[in-house]
Each structure stands twice: as structure tokens, then as C-alpha cells.
Amino acid sequence: MTSLETIFCGIRYENPFILAASPSTDHPDMIRRAFDRGWAGAVLKTTSVPGTPVPLKYPMISGLEYEGKRLLAMGNIDLISEHHADVVAERIQGLKKEFPQKVVVASVMGGKREDWQRLVGMLEEAGADAIECSFSCPQGTLGSKPGAMLGQDIRLVETVTSWVKKAAKRIPVVIKLTPQVSDIVDAALAVKRGGGDGVCASNTIPSLMGIDMKTLRPIPDVGGLSCYSGLSGPAIKPITLRVIAEIARNTGMQVTGTGGAMNWRDAVEFLLLGARNVQFCTAVMRYGFRIIEQLTDGLAVFMETHGFERVEEMTGHSLKYITTHDRLPNITKGFSRIDPKKCIRCGLCYVACRDGGHGAITMKKSRLPVVDREKCVGCGLCEAVCPVTGCIHIAF
Ligand SMILES: Cc1cc2nc3c(=O)[nH]c(=O)nc-3n(C[C@H](O)[C@H](O)[C@H](O)COP(=O)(O)O)c2cc1C
């Protein structure tokens, strides 16, 4: 029997799909609807000590478009929740009473040691199942050093983790890291030294969303000025996958994955590279809570197809195939094979190979591309640019 149940930091989740800290988790009514639909848990939007100013600026969300495809990525300049920890604590109490089986994680961000520890105390007391600490808000830590991310200072990562860990009496502490560091393994190891129970990998990526071609002002335009956004959504998935894999291969830390998961396939990739569960934000903001049905159905069918009975068996399954470039085998016999039945004669492979490859593709009068095996090295460019999935593959 296939079971979707997962355990992360000692906590049982009915399935590996949870809501990431986001606008979707900033109100209990929204979380209730998500839980009713089948989400296993939610990380509440990051909260702060009562009295902390939360100067939100609008518009706060912008989209990255490429060749007509909307929302390849989303940029946000959202900060933490407007609701402070006293309000969030009441909400946690209510949610845990109503949904004892669901996992409610409190996300916190503070400045001084007292702030972090007070936040943890209040929210653990209220019944939070775990604490997630945002060390990675790309709009910067509110307060002392705006623009800087705590997660970029390895020494501070260890110190603040240890403060939070000291304050948490029973529940696990998870640290949400930024991928914007020179070595993510160092950051995860600092969490380990600080006594953290797990890491959340990884938050949005500081980005500049673009320039408006009419006004020549950067996006988003907030009254004529702009700032860097946190990039999320499909475009950042490859970065997240690398970050999860690096942490899983080198630190032994338990990982909850976030950053670019849009569907069950993405989630499967997160799990195969070492995540214990997967958090969703952009996908939910775009398609709504109902995607949980596709996530659970898709994962269940995938597991049956591949003979996995438990999600745990998948965790890190694909890590063994990752090595360094110098250890990759030397394959010299690869060549591109084009399926004439699938080819739509668009010529993209021909142009790409001519101007970016080895000039190994010629076009017949019928516009059918033909590969010269002598010239072809099997680089993969033609397959990457082909608009028809499965039309071109590299054969050996
Ligand atoms: C509008 C918006 C608000 C967010 N607010 C928070 C937050 O309060 N705390 C936090 O830790 N992460 C926050 N995030 C980051 C998400 O939790 C998530 O880690 C990130 O968006 C990457 O996942 P995704 O690609 O599935 O969106 C926010 C993201 C967005 C888009």
C-alpha cells in the first residue's frame, strides 16, 4: 500500500505538501480552506514582536514574462506579516484546536536576542508544532541593517540559531536559508552547530525584475522608485534543487524544500534530492489551494509506478548520481537523433546548431533537418531548443 505520510524533524505530515510562509498563510480563514482541501500543514507568514513597524509598500508583486509565457517567475517586495506575534499566537491556538492533525508552523523574524527568544516562547506556548526562522528575507532584516540578510553571515547564523534553540522547549527549530551565499553547505553547517533541527531550503532570490520600457524606471515602480525583489516560482527551481542536493549530500541536515515547486513533478524532484517535504507559495498564489488534489494524486501514481511504498524511500534517492565534472565519464559516441514523424519543420534545431553548435544539421528542401553524425558531438543544444517534446534525443 502506498502511503504519502512523511516525517520531518520528528513531526508527522499526512502528505509532503505544505503551504510556505506567504500571503496565503497570513489569515486563518485561508489556512482553514487549505486544510479542508487536504494540505498537510502550513508555515504561517513570518511574524515579529508586537510593536515592530511593518512598512508595506505597493505594488509589491511583479511577474517575469518570456516569449509570451506569463509568470516564469514572480518578484515580491513583501515584508513580514502585518500581524504581530500576539495576534498570530491566538490564531495558532484556534487552528490547532480545529485541526489537531495538521501541522502549524510559526515563522519568525527578530532583531535582538530577546526578540527571537520572546517570539519562540509566545508561539510555542500557543501550540505551534515547529518554529521556522526567516534568516533570508531578501528585503532585509527589519531594523539594524536594512538590505542585509542574516543568512549571509555564517557566524550570525550559528549564533541566532543557538538563541532560538535555547528558547524552544519542546518543538523543533528550522532555519530558512537564502541561496544567495557563496557556500550553502557552510550556512547549513552553521545551523547544525547552532543546534537547529532542520533547514528550509531555500528562500526567494534577490533580483531586479526589469525596466519599464515607457518610463525607463525599474520594476516595481513604487511612486517613481524601486528596490530589489525576491524571485520565486518556476525559474528558480534549478537553483533550489542544487541547494537541496548540496545540503543533503554534505550536512546530514533534514530539509524542507521551497523555491520553484509548481506541481507534483517538481515536488518529486525535491524529494529525490533529499527534501522530506515540499512547500508551495507561488503555485498556490497563482492556481489556488485546489492544486493539492493534483499534487497528492500525481505523487501517489508516481510512487506506484516506481515501486516506492513510502515517501521516505524516495528521499535522496537520486543523490548518488551527482558527482563533480571531472568524474563524469567521457562519452564520445553521442549523436542527435531526430524523429521525422514528430518534426514540425520549424528549423530551430538547424539554426541553433549552425550558430551555437557544431554545424552538424542541414535542412532538406522539405525542411526536414538531417544530422551529420561525423560533425555531431551530441551536445544536446538541438534537443533543448526543439519545441516538440520527444522529437529529438541524444542517442549512443
Ligand atoms: C508575496 C510573498 C510573500 C512571502 N512572504 C514570506 C514570509 O513572510 N516569510 C518567509 O519566510 N517567506 C516568505 N515568502 C517566500 C516563500 O515562503 C517561498 O519560500 C518562496 O516564495 C519560494 O517558493 P515558491 O517558488 O514556491 O514561491 C514569500 C513569498 C512571496 C511570493
CB of residue 192 inside a 6 A radius of ligand 1: no
> Is-contact 289 37, C-beta < 8 A?
yes
Minimum CA distance residue for ligand 1 atom 2? 22
Q: How many helices (DSSP H) and strands (DSSP E) are in the chain? A: 12, 18
Give the distance (Å) from ligand 1 centre to CA of residue 202: 10
Which pLDDT tens digits describe the chain residue by residue (396 residues)? 899 999 999 999 999 999 999 999 999 999 999 999 999 999 999 999 999 999 999 999 999 999 999 999 999 999 999 999 999 999 999 999 999 999 999 999 999 999 999 999 999 999 999 999 999 887 755 545 666 799 999 999 999 999 999 999 999 999 999 999 999 999 999 999 999 999 999 999 999 999 999 999 999 999 999 999 999 999 999 999 999 999 999 999 999 999 999 999 999 999 999 999 999 999 999 999 999 999 999 999 999 999 999 999 999 999 999 999 999 999 888 999 999 999 999 999 999 999 999 999 999 999 999 999 999 999 999 999 999 999 999 998
Minimum CA distance residue for ligand 1 atom 22? 259
The structural domains of the chain, ordered by start, are 6-321 (3.20.20.70), 329-395 (3.30.70.20)
CB of residue 203 inside a 6 A radius of ligand 1: yes
CB of residue 45 inside a 6 A radius of ligand 1: yes
CA distance 373 to 383: 15
> Is-contact 261 236, C-beta < 8 A?
no
Cell numbers linked to 219: 520594476
CB of residue 176 inside a 6 A radius of ligand 1: yes
Q: Which secondary-structure segment (H or E) carries 336? A: strand 335-338
Give the distance (Å) from ligand 1 centre to CA of residue 367: 46
Index of the ligand 1 atom closest to the CA of residue 200: 19
CB of residue 308 inside a 6 A radius of ligand 1: no
Residues involved in catalysis: 137
pTM assigned to the model: 0.96
- Residue given cell 533541527 in the structure block: 197
Cell numbers linked to 99: 485541526
